[in-house]
Amino acid sequence: MGLITPGLGLIFWSALGFLIVLFLLTKYAWKPILAALDEREKSIDHALKSAEIARNEMSNLKAENEKIIQEAKIERDNMLHKASEAAKQMIDEAKEKAQLEGAKMIESAKAAINTEKLAALEEVKVQVGILSMEVAEKILRANLSTDAAQQKLMDDLLKDIKLN
């Protein structure tokens, strides 16, 4: 039974050794170990807080980027809308200008045609007059070559004249 139950001297020296080691550890090692643990805890807390701050900043940046992208899309849409309106306006102006030019050209052509028509009619009148004079001259020469024919013409003309 001696092996199972320790002796009083062994318990005393074991307790004394334990208390000395406990005293030495408390005096020299306990404070630095606790200080290191506190510092480690503080650094972990600081890292967690920094990570939280970084996460918040990232979410803020992401929201800001989304806002900037949305504004850029709106601005792009506005620019496209303005460009399409400007193009439509330019096309409408070009059509209107072309219609005005076409109308002017048509009016000018009508005026030129009318002028040419009047000139041609005048020329025809002159030619008809000349031809009529030549025909009348030939007829008169042929018919009035004798005195009897001249007298008959005068009588016919006098009959046609009605006196009041």
Domain that holds residue 109: 28-160
Q: Is residue 8 part of a domain?
A: no
Contact residues for 74 (Cβ-Cβ < 8 A; gap 6+): none
SS3 content of the chain, % helix, strand, coil (to 5): 90, 0, 10
Question: Does residue 20 lie within any of the structural domains?
Answer: no
Distance CA 149, CA 135 (A): 18
How many domains are there within the chain? 1
Q: Specify if 60 maps to a domain.
A: yes
Query: Domain for residue 18, yes or no?
Result: no
pLDDT, one tens digit per residue, over 68-116 is: 999 999 999 999 999 999 999 999 999 999 999 999 999 999 999 999 9
Q: What average pLDDT does the chain have?
A: 86
Asked if residue 77 is part of any domain, the answer here is yes
Mean pLDDT of 135-161: 71
Domain membership of residue 4 (yes or no) is: no
- Please state the pTM of the whole predicted model: 0.42
